[in-house]
Amino acid sequence: MEAIGDQLSQGEVKAGEEVAHSREEPGRLKFFATLNFGLFLTAVGVMVFKAPNHFAMGGTSGLSIILSTLFPTLPVSAFMWFVNAALVALGLVFLDRRTMGWTVYSSFALSTYVSLLEWVIPLSQPLTNDTLLELIFAVLLPAVGSAIVFNIGASTGGTDILAMILRKRSSLEIGKALLIVDAIIVLTAALLYGARTGLYCILGLVAKAFVVDTVIESVNMRKVCTVISRRPDAVLEFLVKVLRRTATVREERGGFSGRTETVLVTVLTRREASKLRLFLRERDPQAFITIVSSSEIVGRGFRGA
């Protein structure tokens, strides 16, 4: 089979290189917009659902909710500023500026969004009378926001700074250390607001971990497609010229027929995989294709190592 690369012009090859690069690294404007969208979602979850219900489920928001109860003269947003500023100061002392990166911005941007929402939507009581419904949104919005931010290689600041310090300066297991801190915050919430709220906080703390992982896996979901077709040249041309993807081409032998078959293996997004299926249905209905989901693809045209 003639290599499809021999049939492409230099312009097409260069265009493919540019597309692959844009997929690996989002532009600055897109990165900044995505970061702020994730932080804003987190702030909505904190001010609209967490704070009015006293859902102190760990982190800087949970600590700020508790401090606002203990010192009612100041709102939750004020303590978000104090706590985040203290953690940023610790980070600048114990970590280098390059390590902090966007974490400093995220810490203060999240505090800004919380203050803005507190001013625009002042809530002195829960939005609804359904506590479980409120808990779902109190978990879902910050978890989705955090997942969006983590997925682009940034962080929401706050206790992430503490995690980086622990990782660099001690041999403590970060997950266990942060879990202990969150557990102390939840226990304090139970003592302040009662066992009912404390149990909701425990439920939310556990649920958040699962939701963040699920959202990240869903965002990064890709389809590993293996195609056996009688028209491999046409399939490869479609992948390269239309979808701007490539494929690994193998010559293998069928176990039943004994014939040599050309096998193409490619990694696509869900939308691209659907386009490939439609193409094969039209051009080669007898083609054999297997599609396997993968949530972690590292390499050219996908996530960087």
| Residue 56 lies inside a defined structural domain of this protein | yes
- Do 177 and 261 lie in one domain? The reply is no
- Do 108 and 202 lie in one domain? The reply is yes
pLDDT class of 305 with cuts at 50, 70, 90: very low
How high is the pLDDT of residue 66? 93
Beta bridge partners of 228: 263, 288
- Do 190 and 239 lie in one domain? The reply is no
- Look at residue 115 and tell me whether its pLDDT is greater than 90: yes
| Residue 119 lies inside a defined structural domain of this protein | yes
Per-residue pLDDT tens over the stretch 264-302: 999 888 889 999 999 999 998 888 999 998 876 665 555
pLDDT class of 254 with cuts at 50, 70, 90: confident
How high is the pLDDT of residue 7? 54
Q: What predicted TM-score, i.e. pTM, was given to this entire model?
A: 0.73
| Residue 114 lies inside a defined structural domain of this protein | yes
| Whole-angstrom distance, CA of residue 63 vs CA of residue 81 | 12
Beta strands in the chain (DSSP E): 222-228, 248-253, 260-268, 288-294
The two structure tokens encoding residue 210: 């699962």
Per-residue pLDDT tens over the stretch 67-111: 999 998 999 999 999 998 998 888 888 877 766 778 888 889 999
- Do 173 and 57 lie in one domain? The reply is yes
* Range of lowest pLDDT (28-42, 133-147, 209-223, 237-251): 209-223
The total number of structural domains in the chain stands at 2
Tally of CA atoms within 13 A in the half-sphere of 286 that contains its CB: 4
For 117, the domain range is 26-217
| Whole-angstrom distance, CA of residue 82 vs CA of residue 88 | 10
| Residue 117 lies inside a defined structural domain of this protein | yes
pLDDT class of 45 with cuts at 50, 70, 90: very high
| Residue 40 lies inside a defined structural domain of this protein | yes
- Do 37 and 184 lie in one domain? The reply is yes
| Residue 250 lies inside a defined structural domain of this protein | yes
CATH code where residue 237 lies: 3.30.70.120
The answer to whether residues 108 and 181 touch, using CB atoms and an 8 Å cutoff, is no
How much is the mean pLDDT over the chain?
82
- Do 156 and 277 lie in one domain? The reply is no
- Do 130 and 230 lie in one domain? The reply is no
Per-residue pLDDT tens over the stretch 183-234: 888 999 999 999 999 999 999 888 887 787 777 777 777 889 999 988 888 9
pLDDT class of 13 with cuts at 50, 70, 90: low
pLDDT class of 1 with cuts at 50, 70, 90: very low
- Do 32 and 141 lie in one domain? The reply is yes
| Residue 21 lies inside a defined structural domain of this protein | no
DSSP H helices in 45-102? 51-53, 59-70, 76-94, 97-100
How high is the pLDDT of residue 3? 53
Helical axes 103-120 vs 159-169, angle rounded to 10°: 160
The two structure tokens encoding residue 270: 């869900």
CA distances from 163 to 108, 169, 248, 290 (A): 18, 10, 40, 41
Tell me the percentage of the chain whose pLDDT exceeds 90: 32
Tell me the percentage of the chain whose pLDDT exceeds 70: 85
| Whole-angstrom distance, CA of residue 239 vs CA of residue 295 | 21
How high is the pLDDT of residue 31? 86
Close Cβ partners of 188 (under 8 Å, ≥ 6 residues apart): 56, 66
Tally of CA atoms within 13 A in the half-sphere of 44 that contains its CB: 13
Q: Can you give 155-201 as a three-state secondary structure string?
A: CCCCHHHHHHHHHHHCCCCHHHHHHHHHHHHHHHHHHHHCHHHHHHH
